Amino acid sequence: MEFDYDLFVIGAGSGGLAASKRAASCGAKVAIAEGDLVGGTCVIRGCVPKKLMVYASTFSHLYQDAQGYGWSEVQPSFDWSKLVEVVNTEVLRLNKLHISFLEKNNVELIQGRATLVDPHTVGVGDKTFTAQHILIAVGGVPTKIDRPGIEHTITSNEMFHLREFPKRFAVIGGGYIGVEFAGIMNGLGSQVTQIIRKDRILNGFDGDIRTEIQEGMIKHGIRVLHGVDDPTLAIAKTDEGLKLTVEVNGNTETVVADAILCATGRQPNLSELGLDKAGVEVTPKGAIAVNPDSSSVSQSHIYAVGDCTDRINLTPVAIAEGRAFADTVFGHTPRYITHENVASAVFSQPEAATVGMTEEAAIDRLGEDSIQVYRARFRPMFHSLTGADEKTLVKLIVDRTTDRILGAHMVGKDAAEVIQGVAIAVNMGATKKDFDATIGIHPSTAEEFVTLR
């Protein structure tokens, strides 16, 4: 059978862009369909605009910290509309840049939401296209809990387009998205309340990381309501603002806010994709079921990468999966990526980053007596003159039998930058002896990883 394309990619996010360009470089005839801006969640309404807002929010602390170094006190003012404007201008610039990259790589961009018509046919608008291989890279979408008045809340999608700055801001959810936006809005001057079900934020992260960030957020002025009886949550629109009520330890707590962010999770963006028409199997959790090489378990010529497979929902992972797919199918170099020891960061305030196993996971797998934990908690040198009550945490988890580093974790300024380098060592199988034999860079926070005793 003759096809219109060797590869048709549905979704021009990180994974789809990486796969389409790599496949085209191997000589494949490629088309990619996108019904939104090109760039995906990360570029349009995720990592990139969020990190820009993180940068913006840190200046308020720097004005205060500078006084400890002899700078005079200033009374800065903040313009929310200016920030929203420049952030979205940058998003549009990146959208155009990614379109130009597709053009340079001879990938045809088809504007519109694509759906599967049958195992080898994709429909976009009133047109249909056939392809020998199909790659689904549609990412994920935020979800909301079903509670009275939840329609008055926003998701992370709308955070970058708020017309007015919310002086009172509430966050429902303790995951990394909620934690990051709580820090952003607090730094920009909002009165922030974070509402979580458990005792601590960031479920699934190392326990010390969770505690350190939460304590840091509270010191920065964020109110954390923990142990919330989730089913009792309700929201009403009143003259004084959005009124949120919830039960906490048997008591009714009330929060009044100008905006409420519902950050209670994300799910694969599979609605109206036509997976059933193409015979693509979905997991019980609503993700596309794939093999280790990203091929669909039910249709060997249909692949899926990124958040729609719900493996590890990170931009660099989607990119790596997309390139591995293209190398395997079109570059004739079979490979697939490992999802072990993938480094990640939470751009909270304080910032955190991690690679490898948490202490809890290491104990669960090997037993408490089989691991050794090294940690240091200290005031970073920067704050020796500011007077701020800030702490940095560095932590290593080591296998007692092999001396291999199982996990590395950090909370503090530039944690992501530091852990990115440490992740290389962890993935290479470095031991604690290797770390000890490395001479540190002094004075730096990173040197603490090679001086832990």
- Summarised one tens digit per residue, pLDDT across range 39-94 is 999 999 999 999 999 999 999 999 999 999 999 999 999 999 999 999 999 999 99
Query: Could you report the per-residue pLDDT of 155-183, keeping only the tens digit for each?
Result: 999 999 999 999 999 999 999 999 999 99
Look at residue 116 and tell me whether its pLDDT is greater than 90. Answer: yes
133 is catalytic: no
Inter-CA distances, 95 with 21, 91, 101, 112, Å: 16, 6, 10, 15
Q: Report helix, strand or coil for 21.
A: helix
Helices (H), ranges, 66-131: 80-104
Question: Domains (ranges, CATH) in the chain?
Answer: 5-142+267-329 (3.50.50.60), 150-264 (3.50.50.60), 350-450 (3.30.390.30)
Q: Which residue has the tokens 């700055």?
A: 165
Q: Residue 412: which pLDDT band, with cuts at 50, 70 and 90?
A: very high
pTM value is: 0.96
Contact present, 273 and 115 (Cβ < 8 Å): yes
Q: Is the pLDDT of residue 1 over 90?
A: no
Please state the separation of Cα 450 from the chain's center in Å: 28
Q: Which of 226, 383, 409, 442 is catalytic?
A: 442
Give the pLDDT score at 60: 93
Categorize the per-residue pLDDT at 272 as very low, low, confident or very high, splitting at 50, 70 and 90.
Answer: very high
Adjacent-strand bridge partners of 172: 195, 262
